[in-house]
Structure 1
Amino acid sequence: MTELRLVTQNLLADLKLLTEDADTIYWMTAFLMKSGVREVLPMLKQAAARGADIKILTGDYLSITQPDALELLLEEVPSAELRLVESGGTSFHPKAYLFKSPEQATVIVGSSNLSKSALTQGVEWNLYAPSTVDEAIFHQATHEFMKLFLAANTVLLNEAQIASYRIRHEETNRRLPLSASFDPKTEIEMTFGQSEQQTIVHDQNTPYQSALTPRPAQQLALTALHETMAAGYEKALVVLATGLGKTYLSAFFAENFGRVLFIAHREELLTQAQQSFAHVFHKRTGGIYNGQHKQDDADFVFASIQTLAMRHHLHRFKPTDFDLVIVDEFHHAASPTYERVLEYFKPTFLLGLTATPERLDNKDVYSLCDGNEAISIHFLDAIRRNWLSPFIYHGVLDETDYGQLRWRNNKYDGEELLRLQMRESYANAVLDAWQNLKQTRTLGFCSSIRQAVFLSEHFQNAGYRSLALHGQANPQTRKTAKAMLEQGQLDILFTVDLFNEGIDIPSVDTLLFARPTESLTVFTQQIGRGLRIAEGKSHCVIIDLIGNYRNVRKKFEVFNESAEHPVKITSEALTKSQFFEFHFEKAVIDLLEAIKQNEPIQQRLLHAFFALKEELGRRPTYLEFHLKANENATAIQQKFKTYPIMLERAGELTELEAEVLQQHRNWLIEVNRTVMTKSYKMVLLKYMLSRGSADWYKPITAEEAAPFFHAYLTEKPYRMDTDLADKQGLSLRDYDEVKVANLIAKMPMTKWSGSSKGLISFENGIFVPQLIVETAHEEILFKWIKEICDYRLHVYFERKGSLG
């Protein structure tokens, strides 16, 4: 069929026909029912068997989607990517079926959900639009689909996520009939209430101040990046506080590369980057590659991750097309999506850019660059260097009880949270704190549109010039509101995740946090909104309402410049200098101390473990916990001695695994705790593990290990420069079996056997762990030892680029 037509019955027949030769199948349906899944399973399984790119997005609105339907799809079509929109009560009603085959592309949009009735006998209207009628509509539809598919409020479905949804589904359907009605105002807000998170306001014409030469922070970062490359690293993370110029830094760094791919998650970020690169490079070409534009042959290609994540777009490029790949603000995106794109490309170097500290919010900002930081300039250090504005922080008590709210996927239930915030007593507390501490121009951060409107009206009734601004407002309204605040025509502008990145109002001198801190990344970005330097601005005041919400103690990690010098909360100001001060009400200090006593570090580690397990759909490895979990893995050794013991405390061990841990507990602790002034012990262990699960613990000599030992340490310059020298400083870069064997015997073998308390023997040149391993235990012990070894080597060689 090549004409535009209306399908009023038996949509299933069209879906079958289009699926037969489609290489791309993207479906988005508000509700997904088991009856509908059964109808489409045969065609989807055939498409999956021939390697089609299958993505299906559905929603949890009113918990109508059936968990059994999700489970059936996951089991029968495991290669398909399934995502669930966590609506938070916001209406989610799209129904769209997108297909692309070698011959043509087709969009079907209408009223049919994935249920048997809707696909076969029900009264439904669906518009069938082939690309022969309008090719642009398919590109626009796939672009919009991917924006929703990768949105922050979607989760990649696995067994753990479906089990979690099943609990919510059963609870909701017990207490909330599907015929529940809402008043007109509530219905409008339920329909449009959260899309503000998908929109960002940007400055369009902010001039670059330094005549296209690197600013001091950028020069420091460039030097660090060049040193990182010289050391043999192929990936690096740069953490620059908001306002220090990450995009221009990447442009300056790109000077020594040929073709460059710049990836971002927002269209505005792509446009800004293209303009920045054009200012630096007048003779090289730049092109946008997204839903609207497909400029794939430029020197600098600025690509949307939503578009690149589609297989047919990704494969328009060769893996070696780009010498440098830059990923901007990549803490936003879903890890599997970025990993798939970044695994495809084979650049000389990968550069990750972010303004947020490492390992926040369990995102892939850290792991995508293998944990290697070229440099990290914290906003506190930037303030000391007069690159950003000083601030005074005030922690004010919020008496709201957040303990009753449901929490999952790192956020509170939106409707439950709103009920607590839409109270006169809460609004009065917010107003009182602001009146006592404010300066002249305030940004107030809220959890939802309804809360922003509620607080804005409350402030207006108190006689203040207030406005609520969110993503549903048109661009002109946003521009006008921004100008009014800059010009002093507004006292306060309430917003909802709209000013997190990409916009600057330097004259803002007060920040008001009237929301629980759920995301440390967002909290960091929002603090940055008040730290721009402006004429007549001496400092920024931060007013933070602090209650017993989930991340209340953890949020102060954003003020930590290093793990060695964490922020301490006492009755005194945390820090008092010419640059920043921290002040807490006594009631806040008492609350934080009580929370600390009630949530020991062991419990936080277990919470982080289960959250990561749910995200991955399986038990994370030790290294994955280090790279991706929302707690510091170094605490595992302090509190559990080794990772398998933490698994035991979490109730994660099978009966056989419990036997292995009981039998070999001391050895597992030894591998985890043995001192490493150099990498040698773990490199030796890595060689032993290369012999396999049945032989790794058998006797070896230094001569046997020498070739592997030398090859591993010389594979990367940073390993060689760090560790490959003997005690007298004699270089071992050129392989000499006698010298390397002598080094191994003298260092890891002698020292480890001596400190192991009898767990390792080294006599007459024979190195051997004192282990007797049952055949049934070999694979499990081998896997655990390998996990510990991989973790310890990775941590040892991680590059830490924080300024001294």
Structure 2
Amino acid sequence: MPDIKLITENLVEELIPGIQRASGIYILTSFVMESGVRLLAPHLKEAALRGAEVKLLAGDYLFVTQPEALRALIRIHPAIEVRLWRSRGTSFHPKAYLFDYENGQGLFIVGSSNLSQSAFRMGIEWNLAVNAQLEPYTFQMALDKFMHQFNHENTESLNDVTLAIYEDEYRENRRKYPELVRSITEMEETELMLPSKPAREKALDKPDAANDLQPRKAQEQALEALVQTREEGYDRAMVVMATGLGKTYLAGFFARQFNRVLFVAHREEILTQAARTFQHVMPERSVGLYNGTEKETDPSSIFASIYTLGMKKHRERFAADAFDLIVIDEFHHAAAQSYQAILNCFRPRFLLGITATPDRMDGKDVYAICDGNVAYQVNFLEAIKRGWLSPFQYYGIYDDTDYGQITWLGNRYDEEELLAVQLQESTAAKIYAAWDKHRQTRTIAFCSSITQADFLADYFKRQRIAAVSLHSRTKELTRDEAIQRLADGSLQVIFTVDLFNEGVDIPAVDTLLFVRPTESLTVFTQQVGRGLRLHDTKSTCHVIDLIGNYRNADVKLSLFQDRNEEEKGSRQPILPIVPDTCLLELEVGVIYLLEELARKRQPRREKLRSAYFDLKRELGRRPSYLELHLNGREESKAYRQEFLSYVGFLHWAEELNEFEVEAFTSCEWWLQEAERTDMRKSYKMVVLLAMLDRGIEEWLTPIRPSETAAFFHDYLTSKEYRKRIDFSDGETRGLWNYNAEKVSKLIAKMPMTKWSGSSKGRIAFDGEQFEVQLRVENEHQALVHEWTRQIAEYRLHYHFERRDKQS
């Protein structure tokens, strides 16, 4: 075909050859119709079978996309990744077909055609097909932008669970608005907040001089911990440092010990700042970017976008052992699969994960990444106590908006209904009054939408305040200009949505204003961190937060509660205890509201049910017990406390089918016993794993200590953290070199004897043989074996995680 071609009919005749030739197929479309899927399905399946990478992102805007079409898509081939853009009322109507060939060749088609037979064959459509060799920069930019949108927080993986939810919404929407499809042509411009590309020369300027930088106190302690970690034999670790303590500089200092470094992040701002940081720390070394527009492979330190390196063809440009050190910045749910692909592709000498806010606030998920090794951890409250971050004064302002009258869409409020409340002069006046009473000199205000940010900026300007609404559509000044004006005092307030969650440093900010319902504790943590950096112009940061009866309003205050000071199993207090240098002040209306929420809060069981189904939706299947612990919103131990076992919860939640209910009823006592038996050490569950390892039909037969000895010893010595925590006292240290007789005596003396003694006769050990007094019907054996295995794996993980934090 020619380098540029206008296609006004039969687009499918261009798409099929592109699919047949491409090694990477990336489709971005507003709507998907079953008729269009039928045309492309056999060709997409063939591409997947030959190893091509196939990713498709569809939109849910106005619920035009047919559930039947989405179901057909996910049935084509398991290797094809399909995600659904959750527009939540915001217009979403891109149409792009990107085909990446070998040797830098490719084709991209952008125009008016959605994925439907009408658009492909019969409709009046205009599409422009461009040879990638003619516009290589634009093609690479398109691929990069596709990956950003594919992994955007507004997307969710399409699976049976998420599809069922969408199908219910689709039907309800069609029932309420039968004429809605006619409004497609009235769509507004999308409000995606994709980060703008910083200037390359700014990111990679050489430092003026080879600064002799020295680590600050937190970085120094973290470096010492990492050195010790390597000496103990670990090849990976996680460091959790509060925003403002210099985790990127820490990575730069640590990287001095390695020759080639790969730094991976999800935002361009983070990449360019990290590149600049590494140059300050090691000015003698070369740095380069590997992202949508730059593809440098030779520098000693490469800073790569997850959205680019998440593509197979880019990973394959590097040898598996190309990097001595890989640094992974913040992990995010949407891009988790891309991160895992990188971890599986490369074999560095050391893997370092750095984060300020683990997705779950206690960092429990890092065990899957870093072998349970959190080398160093300090949260922002501890950092404030040590004088490393600025103290804060938190003012909780009562918001009398009745959020109970606003539709909840599963993870956020209906934007149109929310704006109807927010875009009122009376609401703006209350916000202004609260800000004027508690403000200092430089403010970042976090809003829930661009529309709200524009409205409030306009209102503040009318009060003679130097304010600006800063987002992807702002024309009056750039983000860098706004930051500079805020720092020099010529600008008082920046209203924004999510631009300053991470990757941007403005140490002079001394006031934070929150005028949005808090939906994510992680995002709230990142935003609070924007104001806590030390600076000569401030002694404290004022946090002004409007609190109404929105969902999870009481959750945000848990950020200010030091978890180390909470008693095990105790309830979260209404007023958290903050460091002595800080202040937490709530208006009377807020206190009454929080007390009322505590009384009317979802019953504990309903909260656990909600968290479980959220995770099931994310995974597309029933989560295992360990997955519930690692990824669930609620504490996993609450399921055991409330229902005596995880399977007991599943039974209560009506998640078990008739066959599973029969199995559960027959072995309920055993599942509760396995869940609740005391564990000072891991030994009982290691013995149970050894039993399970014998197979479905044999695991319940009596077992001798000698039969478990080899498995027991290998399990506890194969991982450094297991050996350190549970196999390093005076008696067991001498068993590091395997001695079958001595290990067998240890097993008989401890786990077998102690478990039989505490089981009220249901577990027997006569000194020779250990036996669980459980009889399982043949048809239930596999299921009970699986349930038991999940309990053992979960309890072992939880045990080592908890003990590691205590050590």
TM-score, reference length from structure 1: 0.94
Q: Identity of counterpart residues, as a percentage?
A: 48
1:171-200 superposed Cα distances (whole Å, 9 cap, x missing partner): 33333433666999xx6xx414x3236459
Q: CA distance change for structure 1 residues 129 and 361 in 2, over 3 Å: closer, same or farther?
A: farther
Residue 694 (str. 1) matches residue 697 (str. 2): yes
- SS for the counterpart of 1:195 is coil
Displacement of 1:800: 7.5
1:627 Cα deviation (Å)?
A: 0.9
* Matched position secondary structure for 2:213: coil
Aligned residue number for residue 28 of structure 1: 28
Q: Larger deviation: 733-742 or 132-141?
A: 132-141
- Cα pair 2:91 2:189 within 8 Å, conserved: yes
Q: Is the 8 A contact 2:663 2:780 kept in 1?
A: yes
How many angstroms does 1:795 deviate by?
1.7
Equivalent-residue separation in structure 1 for 2:211 and 2:196 (angstroms): 29
Please give the alpha-carbon distance, in whole angstroms, between the structure 1 residues aligned to 2:318 and 2:304.
12
Residues of 2 paired with 1:749 and 1:693: CA distance? 21
Q: In the alignment, is the contact (CA less than 8 A) between 1:56 and 1:83 conserved in 2?
A: yes
Cα 1:575–1:645, aligned 2, differ >3 Å: closer, same or farther?
same
Aligned to 1:628: 631
Given the superposition, is the C-alpha separation of residues 161 and 370 from structure 1 closer, same or farther in structure 2, using an over 3 Å criterion? farther
Check the 8 A contact 2:364/2:801 in 1, yes or no: no
Residue 252 in 1 paired to residue 249 in 2? no
Corresponding residue for residue 109 of structure 2: 108
State whether residues 100 and 106 of structure 1, in contact with CA within 8 Å, keep that contact through their aligned partners in structure 2: yes
Greater CA drift, 416-425 or 297-306: 416-425
Residue-by-residue CA offset, 1:240-295 (whole Å, 9 max, x unaligned):
11111111111122233342221111122212212222222234332211111222
Q: Cα offset for 1:81?
A: 0.6
1:318 corresponds to which letter in structure 2? Answer: A
SS at match of 2:256: helix
The aligned residue for residue 41 of structure 1 is 41
Return 5+ residue gaps in structure 1 as ranges.
none
Partner of 1:766: 769
CA distance in structure 1 between the aligned counterparts of 2:174 and 2:697, rounded to whole angstroms: 52
Q: Give the superposition deviation at 1:230.
A: 3.5
Q: Deviations over 1:429-455 (max 9, x none)?
A: 222222222222222111011111112
Shift of 1:476: 4.2
Tell me if structure 2 keeps the 8 A contact 1:235–1:370: yes
Q: Deviations over 1:70-113 (max 9, x none)?
A: 01111223321111111222222211111123363111111111
Q: Higher mean Cα deviation, 483-492 or 558-567?
A: 558-567
Check conservation: 2:385, 2:579, Cα contact below 8 A.
Answer: no
Shift of 1:458: 2.2
Change (3 A) 1:459 1:391: same
Paired residues of 2:450 and 2:497 also in contact (CA < 8 A): yes
Q: Does 1:709 align with 2:707?
A: no
Structure 1 residues 144 and 174, CA gap change in structure 2 (3 angstroms): same
The correspondence of residues 110-129 of structure 1 with structure 2, limited to 5 A, is: 110-129=111-130
Distance in 2 (alpha carbons) for counterparts of 1:201 and 1:286: 16
Matched with 1:663 is 666
- Per-residue CA deviations over 1:199-238 (Å, capped at 9, x if unaligned) read 5999979999994211100111112223333344443221
Match status 1:221 vs 2:222: yes
What's 2:790 paired with? 787
- Please give the TM-score of this superposition, normalised by the length of structure 2: 0.93
Question: Which residue identity does 1:388 align to in structure 2?
Answer: L
Preserved contact between residue 331 and residue 365 of structure 1 (Cα < 8 Å): no
Corresponding residue of 1:306: 307
- Distance in 2 separating the partners of 1:475 and 1:792: 56
Query: 2:84 is paired with a residue of what secondary structure?
Result: strand
Q: Which amino acid aligns with 1:592?
A: L
Distance change >3 Å, CA 162–CA 274, structure 1 → 2: same
- Counterpart of 2:462? 461
Instruction: Give the counterpart letter for 2:490 in structure 1.
Output: Q
Matched, 1:196 2:196: no
> Quick one: distance in 1 between partners of 2:526 and 2:480?
20
Shift of 1:367: 4.6
Q: Is 2:211–2:281's contact at 8 Å kept on the other side of the alignment?
A: no
Q: Note closer, same or farther for the CA distance 1:88–1:697 as it changes in structure 2 (3 Å cut).
A: same
**Amino acid of the structure 2 residue aligned with 1:583:** E
Q: Which runs of structure 2 are paired with 1:447-458 in the superposition (5 Å)?
A: 447-458=448-459
Partner-residue secondary structure (3-state), 2:713 = helix
Partner of 2:513: 512
The CA distance in 2 between the partners of 1:2 and 1:200, in whole Å, is: 31
What amino acid does structure 2 have at the position aligned with 1:750?
Answer: T
The aligned counterpart of 1:82 is 82
| One-letter amino acid of the structure 2 residue matched with residue 344 of structure 1 | C
Structure scoring higher RCO (CA < 8 A, sep ≥ 6) equals 1
Q: Which residue number corresponds to residue 644 of structure 2? A: 641
**C-alpha distance in 2, partners of 1:671/1:378?**
34
Map 1:203-602 to 2 at 5 A: 211-331=212-332, 333-357=334-358, 359-360=360-361, 367-369=368-370, 372-408=373-409, 410-473=411-474, 476-562=477-563, 564-565=565-566, 574-575=576-577, 578-598=580-600, 599-602=602-605
Q: Please report how far the alpha carbon of residue 481 of structure 1 lies from its aligned counterpart in structure 2 after TM superposition.
A: 2.5
- Cα pair distance change 1:477/1:20, threshold 3 Å: closer
Cα shift at 1:799 = 7.3
Contact 1:446/1:452 (CA < 8 Å) preserved in 2? yes
Aligned residues: 798
Distance verdict in 2 for CA 1:75–1:646, change over 3 Å = same
1:346-382 C-alpha deviation (Å, 9 max, x unpaired): 3333221111155159996675445542222111111
The match for 1:139 is 140
8 Å CA contact 1:359, 1:366 repeated in 2 = no
CA–CA distance in 2 between the matches of 1:361 and 1:676? 21
TM superposition shift of 1:755: 0.9
CA change 1:414–1:541 in 2 (3 A) is same
Letter of the 1:413 counterpart: D
- Cα distance in 1 between the residues matched to 2:421 and 2:414: 11
Matches of 2:209 and 2:470 in 1, distance apart? 27
Please state whether the residue corresponding to 1:20 is helix, strand or coil: helix
SS state of the match for residue 765, structure 1?
coil
Stretch deviating more after TM superposition (516-525 or 196-205)? 196-205
Moved more, 81-90 or 345-354: 345-354
- Structure 2 Cα separation of the partners of residues 371 and 561 of structure 1: 22
2:607, 2:56 → 1: CA distance? 34
Structure 1 residues 527, 228: closer, same or farther in 2, change over 3 A? same
Q: 2:724 aligns to what SS in structure 1?
A: helix
1:729 positional shift: 6.0
**1:672-725 CA-partner distances (Å, limit 9, x unpaired):** 111111111111111111111111121111111111111111112222222225
